[in-house]
Amino acid sequence: MPTSLPAPIDFGQPCPIRPSRETLTLLAERRSSSAATLRAPGPDSDQLADLLRVAARAPDHGKLSPWRFVVLEGDGKAAYVRALERIAAQRGHNPAALAKLSTPPLAIVVVSRAGEGKIPEWEQVLSAGAVCTLLLVAAEAMGFGANWISDWYAYDEAARQALGLDAHERVAGFVYVGTAPEPPLERVRPEMAQITSRFEG
């Protein structure tokens, strides 16, 4: 589905509050797709730029942009998978599990750059989570399946280095995007009454 995002709004200009039944329906029904089932076609370069632009609008206390993106596609992704295969062999991890990364046409790594400063680090990390969520929602709004996954290579030091992460950076998630072969089935959801209370004073 081609996207036709509005032009970026200039600094200081009003951002419309626009009721959208379609957005609510998407949020009410969205579901992650199994990453290893995601196939081509994935987003084209314009769609990828739109995904990143939308995700980078995540709430961000202090306007620090305490995150960045690493795009994994094509030969670059294949090279990263080969590096992970070598690390997986050393660690005794099942190499078949890398299908989650090798199969989808696109993976966007959201890297948290949270650090100490005026803004609590916790809030900077939360902002990276919001970026991942926006990526999922935007990808589904374009008609793609998507999934937010960490897996061992988000935490393994050699895997982090292979991706070019600095010591203070952490993987918030690998967001996989591609065409889902079929609609994902609904999962168990929390009972709203069990996770909601009203503060009565």
Ligand X SMILES: Cc1cc2nc3c(=O)[nH]c(=O)nc-3n(C[C@H](O)[C@H](O)[C@H](O)COP(=O)(O)O)c2cc1C
Nearest CB to ligand X, comparing residues 54 and 172: 172
Q: ∠ CA 129-163-180 to the nearest 5 degrees? A: 60
Interior/surface letters 73-98, b for 16+ CB within 10 angstroms, e for the rest: beeebeebbebbeebbeeeebeeeeb
Nearest CB to ligand X, comparing residues 164 and 183: 183
Task: Work out how close the CB of 60 gets to ligand X at its nearest, in angstroms, rounded to a whole number.
Answer: 18
Helix 21-29 vs helix 121-141: crossing angle, to nearest 10:
100
Task: Work out how close the CB of 31 gets to ligand X at its nearest, in angstroms, rounded to a whole number.
Answer: 4
Nearest CB to ligand X, comparing residues 18 and 189: 189
Nearest CB to ligand X, comparing residues 45 and 171: 171
Nearest CB to ligand X, comparing residues 23 and 150: 150
Shortest Cβ contact with ligand X: which residue?
32
Q: Which of 143, 153, 150 is nearest to 177 (CA)?
A: 143
Task: Work out how close the CB of 15 gets to ligand X at its nearest, in angstroms, rounded to a whole number.
Answer: 27
Task: Work out how close the CB of 32 gets to ligand X at its nearest, in angstroms, rounded to a whole number.
Answer: 3
Strands (DSSP E) found in 21-158: 67-73, 106-112, 145-149
Task: Work out how close the CB of 104 gets to ligand X at its nearest, in angstroms, rounded to a whole number.
Answer: 13
**What span, in angstroms and rounded, lies between the C-alpha atoms of 42 and 77?**
14
Distance of CA 188 to the CA centre of its chain: 22
Q: Enumerate binding residues for ligand X (CB under 6 A).
A: 31-32, 147-151, 173, 187
